[in-house]
Structure 1
Amino acid sequence: MFTGIIETLGKVVKLENESGNLHITVSSKITPELKIDQSVAHNGVCLTVVSIEGDMYTVTAIEETLNKTNLGDLLVGDTVNLERAMKLGARLDGHIVQGHVDQTANCATIEEKDGSWIYTFAYDSAHNNVTIEKGSITVDGVSLTVVDSKNDRFSVAIIPYTHEHTRFHSYKEGTQVNLEFDVIGKYVARLLEIGQ
């Protein structure tokens, strides 16, 4: 379980395809604190550390994960948002994030405001995922509050700290991102679907 508060950015240093899986090697300042079999969220995707060497570690994304996320589009040199699993008893500064991406979205617009940015993301509403204004959403692992919600799109406001310390500063119109919708909202939507 995660909080959606990004610890640091990692840099992809190696990508290796093997039987439908993708081994992703990342260089990061948190590597010395990692251990084999530990969960780390990469752009919001929970992956298991399978090897560590110096300041680099490797995780493996299976075909199912690659089909539902933007990890299959990674290139050597790309950055990824990183967060280790939350500690029991620690403050929950973001919201409850499972690290299980529901679907991807594309950055539709970026509007620069005085001291902040408004990002709008468009997604396929056929998956029955929903957002609500003032509700929580996770974009590439970042816990955010929805400021505008439509059937197939939503907007979030980004402060300078988040802009600088996550992948948000590299987004352009058309950038594909991972979405994890609020877990409570998903249960409510499912219950309503069953009740129909």
Structure 2
Amino acid sequence: MRIRFNRFAPIILVVGMLLGMTVTASASSLFNSGSGSLFSDYKARQVGDLVTVLIIEQARATQSADTSSGNDNVLGIGPGGGVLADLIPLLRFSHNSQFDSGGTTSRGGSLTAKLTTKVVEIYDNGTMKIEGKQKITVNGEEQEIVMSGIIRSRDIGPDNTIYSSLVADAEIMFVGSGIVGDKQEPGILTRFFDWLF
């Protein structure tokens, strides 16, 4: 009996080790199904998803106009022939007018901000309508950024951001109110006299 046990001892030992390894090899997966896809970045795709808009807008406009006009008139009456030629003195009238004018207007502005918007509608062609607003109050001064527009999902970057230049039908408003904002407006008397005159 002893001979048979020695012959099966290595086989029993290997089977025992394999059974012991299968118990310890039952570890949990590193992939968490709630974290999203392993193969694609998270991008807004459905109503309610958020997408961050990087607002970098600059606008400049220059308009110039030059006007020049002139007018020369000469009227002369001289003596004619005949009996009255000596009685009519030489009469000459001359008029000259010149008008030159020019003007240039120039206006510019820039806005740089980062605003997270929400997808509110998805169209049949895959484009999405976004809307968002942000209010900031500092020392009694309230600033508000409001934005809406239409975006394509392929324009959204891997970090779920999109530049404002890629937003179609973009409406961006930046308004403020408070002491500084109130001082930027003319007073009541100034507005009255501007209206009157």
TM-score, normalising length: structure 1: 0.21
State which structure, 1 or 2, has the greater radius of gyration over its C-alpha atoms: 2
Could you say which structure has the higher helix fraction? 2
TM-score, normalising length: structure 2: 0.21
